[in-house]
Amino acid sequence: MFTVSYVVVNVFRGLARCVGRRGASLLFVGMLSFVLSTSLAFAPPELRAAPAFQALDEVAPLAVWAALWAVSGIVCFVQAFMRVDRITFALASATWWAYGLAYFVGVFSGVNPRGWVTGGIWIVFGAYIAFVISTWPEVVDLRIPPGESGDAIITADAGGVVRAFNAPAEALFGWEAASIVGRPVTVLMPERFHPAHRAGVARVRESGQLKLSGRVLELTGRHADGTEFPIELTLTELSTPAGVTYSGLVRRGAE
């Protein structure tokens, strides 16, 4: 059992590195959707007679539920590899909520008196998809050649040294990639923020966790000419053969 869990966790981590946490979560939700679709479509007669299945059948035929879960699973699998996937999260959460509400219908009709427990679980999971997973940032595709992405992307190693700097980052900060790569990332921020940054790097080294990953941070950037301007930064942790690196997607903030 431990070996299976270990394999599943590592597969999920590997997927998260390729498609981001959002994409990996969509693949997981899609897999569950296909399992549910199959269980409903091929349920044996004795299982169809169970209170839970009778309650579902009161709302819609089991074949309809199976088709709904199958469609949700297909959309999740397709959009897991796409950068914009908000439609999928809306569909997935709506499917889970509808399934949960169907159980509550069985409670009120008396067909499935204890269905409120299962229904509550489905509704809570749907809420988790809608209000937690869907708020994670879309994956940043670091394979986009410089100049083809409109977002500034900066990659730094665990020591805070810049390792990659794309063309939009050059335009935003006024540095050429050849001049900034190999220098501390602190040159891109006002000096008053340097101590806090170094303390944060030290905390990440000690804990091994980037607690700010996925959050949009409103900060102040520093141009090569010394002027300051507001930025919005989203950090992502990446594991590479050379070690852990940190990618920052940077957009100019509101003045």
190: in domain: yes
Q: 130 and 15 in one domain?
A: yes
Are residue 31 and residue 128 in the same domain, yes or no?
yes
101 shares its domain with 180: no
Does residue 122 fall inside a structural domain? yes
Residue 6 and residue 129 in one domain: yes
Mean pLDDT by 10 residues, the chain (255 residues): 59 59 83 93 89 89 94 88 72 92 91 90 91 66 47 86 89 91 92 87 70 76 93 78 75 80
pLDDT for the residue numbered 239: 61
Pairing of β 228-240 and β 243-252 = antiparallel
Say if residue 236 is in the same domain as residue 196.
yes
Task: Select from 135, 166, 187 the last residue of a domain.
Answer: 135
Residue 84's pLDDT is 59
Q: Indicate the pTM of the whole model.
A: 0.54
The total of structural domains in the chain comes to 2
What is the span of the domain harbouring residue 210?
A: 152-252
- Domain end residue (candidates: 107, 135, 163): 135
Which pLDDT belongs to residue 3? Answer: 65
